[in-house]
């Protein structure tokens, strides 16, 4: 393979339109804020039932990993 084979990729325009970049950034920040607020709600004991569910699922996952580690 020579450089001539990749010339079309090297000459390709890779500029992104600023409006689509802003739209993507807005959507990303929206999802990030939603995720952060949900994690904060679960781990900072806003709702005791949800927090217990998360703790129990973490304990369950840890025990599964321990069992899998014993088999290997």
pLDDT digits (tens, 9 = 90+) for 11-43: 888 899 999 999 999 999 999 999 999 888 877
Q: Please state the domain extents for the chain.
A: 18-71
Do 42 and 50 contact (CB within 8 A), yes or no?
Answer: yes
Do 41 and 47 contact (CB within 8 A), yes or no?
Answer: yes
pLDDT digits (tens, 9 = 90+) for 50-65: 888 888 999 999 999 9
Spell out the residues 6+ positions from residue 19 whose beta carbon is closer than 8 angstroms to its own.
none
Q: What percent of the chain has pLDDT over 70?
A: 94
Res. 1 pLDDT band, cuts 50 70 90? low
Cα separations in angstroms, 24 against 6, 28, 33, 36, 47: 30, 6, 14, 18, 32
pLDDT at 50: 82
Lookup: tokens for 31: 């999802």
């Amino acid at each position: 393979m020579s450089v001539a084979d990749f010339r079309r990729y090297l000459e390709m325009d890779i500029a992104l339109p600023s409006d689509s970049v802003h739209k993507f950034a807005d959507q990303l920040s929206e999802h990030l804020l939603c995720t952060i607020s949900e994690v904060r709600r679960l781990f900072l004991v806003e709702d005791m039932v949800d927090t217990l569910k998360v703790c129990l699922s973490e304990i369950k996952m840890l025990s599964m990993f321990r069992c899998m580690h014993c088999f290997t």
